[in-house]
Amino acid sequence: MTQPVRWIRNFVDGEFAEPDGPGFPAVDPATGAEFARVHEAGRELVHRAVTGARAALHNGWADTPVRERTALLRRAADRIEARFEEFVAAEVADTGKPVTQARELDVARAVANFRTFADVIAAAGQESFVTDLPGGAQALNYAVRKPLGVVAVIVPWNLPLLLLTWKVAPALGCGNAVVVKPSDQTPSTATLLAEVLAEVGLPAGAYNVVHGFGGDSAGQYLTEHPGIDGVTFTGSSATGTQVMRTVAPRVRPVSFELGGKNAAIVFDDADLDETLAGLTRSVFANTGQVCLCTERVYVQRSVFDDVAAGLVEQARGLRLGDPLTERTTTGPLISPEHRRKVLDYLALAEEAGAKTLTGGGIPELGPELDGGSWLEPTLWTGLTNKDRPVREEIFGPVAALIPFDTEDEAISLANDTEYGLASSVWTQDLRRGHRVAQAMHVGMSWVNTWFLRDLRSPFGGMGLSGIGREGGASSLHFYTEPTNVCVRL
């Protein structure tokens, strides 16, 4: 007997919609096996989601007192914790990421996102100025912040729940309604979140999920919809450009968290063990599929050989394998198409004369995992900033090691990119650490660490890496619109 099909459905105006087409497959990247069908939302369903969201605002969600909205965020955090392992299993099935990472990073951060934004919103004040007027009179200016309205939330596949809740928590907390478009490759956790938010009492229509692809599918239908008041988007720079074009005629605000080509700078006084541990995470975490991952490692010449040898040893120590096994450190790439893209960069690097210190091939992990999109952690030397693999975002478990001699040279090499997302500096000279970190043309600059986040601090990028910042007060600014009231006293 054949198994009944498991559907991952759209959540529109407080209800799961019945599938009305063939849908598309949800595939486990570790094995290549289909495990569910996803209901692709058509234009009509996206329209219902947007109008349902608008109705939720009018029906009172936008005017709900702040303490009720923040209490709801806290209940959502509690409820994700109560259903923690379900979220972990869903995230692992969609992405193939190691179960320990899904627990410690992805789902844990979703809980933290809801709690942090509850705190931030509860503590937020409002701007006010007393203005002195001629003759001793005064005026009072104060800004009331109102919800932006119906917000389109479009997210990628690499950290699906983490990135989604990073936007949904502040958006809902500020009184908006959201229509969420997860990546077609990772539809599960956004759908589970719909259940959780309904369980904790979010009104129908305030959170909607529409599944599908980008162009000529749910992503485009959503961004083209005239009922959208703003778009918060995380994804590639190319898609960001497209989304901006789509919303330009209606002049909607956008918040863009886009790609990166991030540099690490290792000085000769850095603590070697700590640096190697940090670099290994920064290059290979999530199989290199984090926008913050390091793909360019600039190392001071006197320690270049030691750092290269140490990093190779660490890369070889990574354990690829069944994501559900706790000792696994490294999962597959998200899809065969993405692996193809990364393999193309491997070929380009070879053409450019790179020396592959380790990796470069497809590992053999046994018949169970043969159908997965696996790739060996890879390190190169012999490339320069002129070569495409050093200029373009690859988004895989690969990095180029490049020597430098002076601090100035390191700064100019690191800043020689059209991207501007993140960087890390490794040194025991803290004065130099501050100096170099501040000289980086990026949104996030780390010293002797990487991906250490305080969710109240601003997050985002410069250049091709994005527009605007989210996190803490920056999120509240994006998800609200101020009306300044001026009263002559």
Active site members: 257
Q: Does 30 bind ligand NAD (CB under 6 A)?
A: no
Contacting ligand NAD (CB under 6 A), which of 14, 52, 205, 461? 461
Q: What residues are paired with 358 via a beta bridge? A: 379
Minimum distance between the CB of residue 265 and ligand NAD, rounded to whole angstroms?
A: 20
- Interacting positions 419-448 with ligand NAD (CB under 6 A): 421
Please state the φ and ψ torsions of residue 267, each to the nearest 5 degrees: -90, 165
Minimum distance between the CB of residue 431 and ligand NAD, rounded to whole angstroms?
A: 30
Q: Give SS3 for 387.
A: coil
- Interacting positions 199-218 with ligand NAD (CB under 6 A): 213-215
Q: What residues are paired with 179 via a beta bridge? A: 152, 208
- Interacting positions 148-167 with ligand NAD (CB under 6 A): 154-158, 163
- Interacting positions 285-344 with ligand NAD (CB under 6 A): 291
Residues 6+ apart with CB under 8 A from 408: none
Contacting ligand NAD (CB under 6 A), which of 14, 147, 160, 259? 259
Our CB check for ligand NAD shows the closer of 156 and 403 to be 156
Our CB check for ligand NAD shows the closer of 203 and 212 to be 212
**479: closest CA among 117, 55, 106?**
117
Q: Does 260 bind ligand NAD (CB under 6 A)?
A: yes
Q: Does 282 bind ligand NAD (CB under 6 A)?
A: no
| Strands of the 150-154 sheet, one edge to the other | 15-16, 11-12, 207-209, 177-181, 150-154, 230-234, 254-257, 466-467
- Indicate the pairing of strand 177-181 with strand 207-209: parallel
Residues 6+ apart with CB under 8 A from 351: none
- Rounded distance between C-alpha atoms, residue 402 and residue 382, angstroms: 7
Cα 265 to Cα 270, 349, 384: the distances in Å are 10, 21, 15
**Nearest residue to the partner ligand NAD, using Cβ:** 214
Q: Does 415 bind ligand NAD (CB under 6 A)?
A: no
Q: Does 189 bind ligand NAD (CB under 6 A)?
A: no
Our CB check for ligand NAD shows the closer of 96 and 403 to be 96
CB 193 within 8 A of CB 165: yes
Q: Rg for the chain (alpha carbons), in Å? A: 23
Q: Does 450 bind ligand NAD (CB under 6 A)?
A: no
CB 6 within 8 A of CB 36: yes
| Span near ligand NAD by CB under 6 A; candidates 108-116, 167-175, 235-243, 264-272 | 235-243
Contacting ligand NAD (CB under 6 A), which of 46, 118, 180, 243? 243
Residues that bind ligand NAD (CB under 6 A): 154-158, 163, 181, 183-184, 213-215, 219-220, 223, 234-236, 239, 242-243, 257-260, 291, 393, 395, 421, 461, 466
